Amino acid sequence: PSRYDPQAAEAHWRQAWKEADLFRAKSPSEAGDKPKCYVLEMFPYPSGRIHMGHVRNYAMGDVVARHKRAHGYNVLHPMGWDAFGLPAENAAIERGIHPGDWTYKNIAAMRAQFDKLGLTLDWSREFATCDEAYYGEQQRIFLKLLEAGLIYRKASKVNWDPIDNTVLANEQVIDGKGWRSGAPVEQRELTQWFFKITDYAEELLSGISTLTNWPEKVRTMQANWIGRSEGLQMRFLFEGGAPDGFDEGIEIFTTRPDTLFGASFVALSPDHPLTLQLATNDSRIESFRKDAARIGTSEEAIEKAEKVGIDTGLRVAHPFDPAVTLPVWVANFVLMGYGTGAIFACPAHDQRDLDFARKYDLPVRPVVLPPEADATSFDVDSEAYVGPGTIFNSDFLNGLSIEDAKSEATKRIESMGRGHGTVNYRLRDWGVSRQRYWGCPIPVIHCGDCGIIPVPEAELPVVLPKDVSFDKPGNPLAHHPSWKHVACPKCGKKAERETDTLDTFVDSSWYYARFASPENREERDYWLPVDQYVGGVEHAVLHLLYSRFIARALRDVGELDLPSGEPFSGLFTQGMVTHETYKGPDGKWVEPSEVEKRGEAFVLAGTGEPVTVGPIEKMSKSKKNVVDPDEIIATFGADTARWFVLSDSPPERDVEWTQSGAEGAARFVQRVWTIFDRLCEAGPADETANATPLVKYSHRTAAAIDKAILEFRFNAAIAACHDWVNTLKKAESAAEETIATRKLSARMLAVCLTPFMPHLAEECWIALGEKGFVSDAAWPMSDPALMEETTVTLPIQVNGKRRGEITIEKSAAKDEIERIALASPDIENFLDGKVIKKVIVVPGRIVNIVAA
C-alpha cells in the first residue's frame, strides 16, 4: 500500500478549496432556503505566532462549522484580528518598530499559519480592528451612543504611574507598584470617558436566564459580576450637631436591615464627601486617606488589605432607639463606588465588621439567633454568624425570620421618612479611556467656548497619525506636535482633539456584527446572533458582558435588529493545552524539544545530563513548555494536530500534549489511509448493499458521531471514529462483508472524519471514486431500521469475577449463549483444567460460570 503524504495532500486540498471558493458564506439571497449558522471563535490577538491553544480553539470551531455545512446550513465562519493594544506599543518602545508595522507583519505571519490548519474560514470578511475602516465605523458608533446619552465623562480615580506618566489598569499594578517602572502607584482623579453599562444592569441580568446554550459557570460568573442586591438605603441623623451640609444625616446602604439593632458603628469610605470635608481640618484623617489610597483601586486589593480605620469623633442616633448613639468611623474597607459609600456595621453578623470591632474594641451585639441555639448563652467570638435564624435582642423585630425582619425594618424606616427599599448593582460603568497611542481615537473635540463637540460624520475616521514618537513617557498622541490642534467644528476657534483612545475591549464588543456584514444592514440582521461562539473561559465576564451590552445599545439606537439583545446564542468555553515542564541541571526551564527520553529517564538531548520533570501546566513561554504548531504541522501534518488536540479530553477540559500522543495520531492517519487505499480500485459504493453487520454498525456509529458533535463531546466522536476504523479493518476478512458493504461503510466514515481530519478525508473520498469535495458532502443519513442494535455484548464471570465477554444476536437462545460463552477464547483458556459445576445464563445481561 502507498504511504499517505500529509504535506503534499494538505497543500493540494487547501489550494483546491481556495480555487473553488468553498468556504465563502452565501448571501441571504444566494442561500435560498438553507438555514443559516454563524460559527465564531474569539478572534486572536496578532502576537506574531499561533500556539497550540489557538489550534485547539479554532479546530473546535471548525468541527462545528464543518458539521453544520454537512447538515445543509449556510455557514458563516469568519476570521479577523483583535489588533489594537499595548504589546504593539511595547514593541515600538523596545525595538523602534512602528506599532502598525509590527501588527500587520504579525497578522501576515499568523494568517499563513492559520491557513495551514485547513479551517473552513471565509477570509473575504477578514479585518483587523486597527484598520481605518474598522475603527472609523467604531467612531461613528461611538458618536451615536454619545448622542443617545449612553456615553459620558466624569472624574474618576485611576492608578497613576508617576515615572511612566500613565494610567495603569488594575492588572498592571503589582503589589502597589507599576508593572514596568516599579514606582509606587498613586491614585489620581482624572476625567475619563464611560459607557453607561449600568443602564442595562437589570436586562443583562435577566437575559442570562435565556442563555440556555451557555456554560452554567459563565452564567453564574456574569450574574455575580452584575451583583444585584436588594436592600435598604437610609439616613442616620447626627447627634450633637451635624457637620456642614449634612443636616439630613448620613446615607447608608445595607442588605441586612434585619440586623439594625445590632448596629455598633457607622463607617465612611476614605473617599466619602464627608471624609474629604473632615480631612481639610483634621490632619489625622488626611494622612489616613493617603495611606488608604496606596492600596490601589481594585476591589481585590482592598479585600486583601488589613482592615483599618479612624474615629471621626462624630456620633449618629440609632433610628429605632434615639437614646442609643453610634460612633462614625472612616474605614478602608468601605468603597466609594458601591452603594452610598457609607455603611452601618453589625459585627456579630459580618466578618469584616467583626474584625474591625475586635481591633478597635467596639461593641458586638448578636441579633440573629441560630436555630437550636439558646438566647441566653449564644455569643459571637471571632467568627461572625452569617447563617439562618430568628431575630432576637431587637425590640419589635424579635421572633421574626430574617426575611420578615428585613421587610418589617424597611417598612418602619420608610414610614419614618428616613429611607426606602432599593436595588443595588455591583456592576460599575465601563471606563473606556486609555492614554495610549495604539487604539481607536475618541472622535470628539474640546473647545474652550463650545465644550465637547463631536467630530462631524463627514470627517470620520479620525485617523491615528503615523509619525509618532515613543521617546517620552505618556501618551504619544498628546505630545504629537500637530495632530490634536484643530479648529472647533462649531465656532471655528482653536480647539483640541481628545487624545484618549478606546479600551480594546470596545473593539471586540461589536466585531461579530462587522463580520456579518460591513455595510449591509439586511445581511447583518440575517446572520446575527452568532449561533455558536467558542473561546476561552478567561473572557467569561468582561468581553462577553461588554458584547452583550453593546449589542443592546446598538439595538436601541437602531443599528441592529436584534430584539433579544443577545449577540451569542450558543457559547462553548474550551480547556487549555498543557504540557509537562522540564528543568535542566541548573534549575532553569528547558524546552520539550531539548529533552529526550532515554528508557524511563529524561535527559538533555545534547549533553545527556539529567532533566527534572515538573508538573503538567498550561503551555506558556515563561515555563518553556510550549510546542510550536508549525513544527508539528511540518512533521505530522495539520490533521494530526487537529485530531490530537481534540482526542484525549472532553473539549471543556485541559488536554495534555505529549509527543507519543501526537505520534499515535499520526499513525492513525496512516491506518485510515491504508484501509481506503485498498478500496481504491474496487468500483463505486453501492447504496443498496445488503444490511450486513458492518452496514448496520456504520449507520449506528454515524448517528453516534453526529450526536457527539452536537453535544460538544468531540473526544467521544473521535473514539467512535477509532472504533469504526478497527471495525472496517476486521470486515476485510469477514465472510458476510463484500467490497460493496465495505465501500458503503468507508464512504460514510469519510464524511464523519471530515470535521476532524479534512485533508485526509478528501484524499479518502477520491480513493473511493467519489466526485467533488467531501467538505461539501452531506452528513450520512442513518436509517433507523438499520440502526437498531441486533446484537448484545454479555460479560462472562467465572466464580464471580469478570473473565471475558461475548457479542451475540439478541435473539440467541440460552443453550446457544452457553455454548458460545464456553467456547470463547478467553474463557476456554481460563477454564483449562477446571471442572465446570454450573452455568447460569441471564439473557441480555450476563453469563455466570461456577468452576472448581
The residue ranges that bind ligand ANZ (CB under 6 A) are 229, 253-256, 259, 269, 333-335, 338-339, 341, 343-344, 346, 349-350, 424
In terms of CB distance, is 298 or 727 closer to ligand ANZ? 298
CA end-to-end span of the chain, whole Å? 50
Q: Which does 490 bind (CB under 5 to 8 A by kind): ligand ANZ, Zn ion, none?
A: Zn ion
C-alpha cell at 333: 474597607
Residues 732-771 that bind Zn ion (CB under 5 A): none
Q: Hey, CA dihedral for 788, 791, 793, 794, is it positive or negative? A: positive
Asked if residues 70 and 754 have their Cβ atoms less than 8 Å apart, the reply is yes
CA-closest candidate to residue 425, choices 577, 225, 277, 565 = 225
Q: What are phi and psi of 474, to 5 degrees?
A: 100, -165
Asked if residues 562 and 525 have their Cβ atoms less than 8 Å apart, the reply is yes
Instruction: Out of 221, 335, 450, 616, point to the residue binding Zn ion (CB under 5 A).
Output: 450
Q: Which does 659 bind (CB under 5 to 8 A by kind): Zn ion, ligand ANZ, none?
A: none
Asked if residues 725 and 84 have their Cβ atoms less than 8 Å apart, the reply is no
In terms of CB distance, is 247 or 449 closer to Zn ion? 449
Q: Does 486 bind Zn ion (CB under 5 A)?
A: no
44: which DSSP letter? P
C-alpha cell at 245: 451640609
**Shortest reach from residue 345's CB to ligand ANZ, in Å:** 6
Instruction: Name the strand (E) or helix (H) holding 778.
Output: none
In terms of CB distance, is 132 or 291 closer to ligand ANZ? 291
Q: Which does 424 bind (CB under 5 to 8 A by kind): ligand ANZ, Zn ion, none?
A: ligand ANZ
Spatial separation of the C-alpha atoms in residues 464 and 483, rounded to whole Å = 9
In terms of CB distance, is 269 or 782 closer to ligand ANZ? 269
**Shortest reach from residue 265's CB to ligand ANZ, in Å:** 11
**Shortest reach from residue 281's CB to ligand ANZ, in Å:** 24
In terms of CB distance, is 84 or 344 closer to ligand ANZ? 344
Do the strands 325-331 and 309-317 form a parallel or antiparallel pair, or are they unpaired? antiparallel
Neighbours of 837 (CB within 10 A): 10
Q: Please, which residues bridge with residue 128 across strands?
A: 81
588: which DSSP letter? -
**Shortest reach from residue 295's CB to ligand ANZ, in Å:** 13
Q: Does 196 bind Zn ion (CB under 5 A)?
A: no
**Shortest reach from residue 312's CB to ligand ANZ, in Å:** 17
Q: Which does 341 bind (CB under 5 to 8 A by kind): Zn ion, ligand ANZ, none?
A: ligand ANZ
Q: C-alpha distances in angstroms, 257 versus 261, 331, 596, 839?
A: 9, 20, 66, 73
Spatial separation of the C-alpha atoms in residues 405 and 232, rounded to whole Å = 12
In total, the chain counts a number of residues equal to: 852
Q: Which does 447 bind (CB under 5 to 8 A by kind): ligand ANZ, Zn ion, none?
A: Zn ion
CA-closest candidate to residue 344, choices 369, 320, 316 = 316
Q: Which does 350 bind (CB under 5 to 8 A by kind): ligand ANZ, Zn ion, none?
A: ligand ANZ
In terms of CB distance, is 35 or 451 closer to Zn ion? 451
In terms of CB distance, is 344 or 668 closer to ligand ANZ? 344
Q: Which does 488 bind (CB under 5 to 8 A by kind): Zn ion, ligand ANZ, none?
A: Zn ion
Q: Please, which residues bridge with residue 590 across strands?
A: 582
In terms of CB distance, is 40 or 409 closer to ligand ANZ? 409
Q: Does 447 bind Zn ion (CB under 5 A)?
A: yes
Helices (H), 711-773: 714-731, 739-753, 758-767
Match 468507508 to its residue by C-alpha cell.
746
Q: Which stretch binds Zn ion (CB under 5 A): 144-152, 336-344, 444-452, 791-799?
A: 444-452
Q: Is 621 annotated as a binding residue?
A: yes
**Shortest reach from residue 322's CB to ligand ANZ, in Å:** 19
Q: Which does 229 bind (CB under 5 to 8 A by kind): ligand ANZ, Zn ion, none?
A: ligand ANZ
Do the strands 485-487 and 444-447 form a parallel or antiparallel pair, or are they unpaired? unpaired
In terms of CB distance, is 379 or 828 closer to ligand ANZ? 379
Asked if residues 717 and 708 have their Cβ atoms less than 8 Å apart, the reply is yes
Q: Which does 400 bind (CB under 5 to 8 A by kind): Zn ion, ligand ANZ, none?
A: none
In terms of CB distance, is 105 or 228 closer to ligand ANZ? 228
Q: Using CB atoms within 10 Å of the CB of residue 288, give its burial: 0 to 12 exposed, 13 to 18 middle, 19+ buried.
A: buried
Amino acid identity, position 54: H
Q: What are phi and psi of 523, to 5 degrees?
A: -70, -35
**Shortest reach from residue 287's CB to ligand ANZ, in Å:** 21
Q: Does 613 bind Zn ion (CB under 5 A)?
A: no
**Shortest reach from residue 282's CB to ligand ANZ, in Å:** 22
Q: Which stretch binds Zn ion (CB under 5 A): 148-156, 300-308, 349-357, 443-451?
A: 443-451
**Shortest reach from residue 495's CB to Zn ion, in Å:** 6
Q: How wide is the angle at C-alpha 316 spanned by C-alphas 230 and 287, nearest 5°? A: 90
Q: Which does 335 bind (CB under 5 to 8 A by kind): ligand ANZ, Zn ion, none?
A: ligand ANZ
Amino acid identity, position 166: T
Q: Does 490 bind Zn ion (CB under 5 A)?
A: yes
**Shortest reach from residue 260's CB to ligand ANZ, in Å:** 8
Asked if residues 575 and 534 have their Cβ atoms less than 8 Å apart, the reply is no
Q: Which does 334 bind (CB under 5 to 8 A by kind): ligand ANZ, Zn ion, none?
A: ligand ANZ
Q: Does 449 bind Zn ion (CB under 5 A)?
A: yes
**Shortest reach from residue 381's CB to ligand ANZ, in Å:** 16
Q: Does 851 bind Zn ion (CB under 5 A)?
A: no
CA-closest candidate to residue 110, choices 64, 59, 40, 54 = 54
Do the strands 36-41 and 74-76 form a parallel or antiparallel pair, or are they unpaired? parallel
In terms of CB distance, is 402 or 820 closer to ligand ANZ? 402
In terms of CB distance, is 86 or 380 closer to ligand ANZ? 380
C-alpha cell at 691: 444490511
Q: Hey, CA dihedral for 250, 251, 252, 256, is it positive or negative? A: positive
**Shortest reach from residue 136's CB to Zn ion, in Å:** 23
Q: Which does 658 bind (CB under 5 to 8 A by kind): ligand ANZ, Zn ion, none?
A: none
Alpha-carbon torsion angle 402, 404, 405, 411, nearest 10: 150
Q: Which does 449 bind (CB under 5 to 8 A by kind): ligand ANZ, Zn ion, none?
A: Zn ion
**Shortest reach from residue 389's CB to ligand ANZ, in Å:** 12
Q: C-alpha distances in angstroms, 118 versus 69, 480, 642, 776?
A: 15, 44, 9, 14
Q: Which does 497 bind (CB under 5 to 8 A by kind): Zn ion, ligand ANZ, none?
A: none
In terms of CB distance, is 115 or 355 closer to ligand ANZ? 355
Amino acid identity, position 253: F
**Cβ-proximal residues to 295 (8 Å cutoff; 6+ apart), any chain:** 176, 301, 302, 305, 332
**Shortest reach from residue 318's CB to ligand ANZ, in Å:** 13
Size of the site for Zn ion (CB under 5 A): 6
848 torsion bin: left (phi>0), alpha (psi -120 to 50), beta (else): beta
Q: What are phi and psi of 190, to 5 degrees?
A: -135, 140
In terms of CB distance, is 343 or 672 closer to ligand ANZ? 343
Instruction: Out of 155, 491, 781, 842, point to the residue binding Zn ion (CB under 5 A).
Output: 491
Q: C-alpha distances in angstroms, 179 versus 164, 168, 185?
A: 10, 9, 10
Asked if residues 559 and 145 have their Cβ atoms less than 8 Å apart, the reply is no
The contact set with Zn ion (CB under 5 A) reads: 447, 449-450, 488, 490-491
Binding region for ATP: 621
Binding region: 621
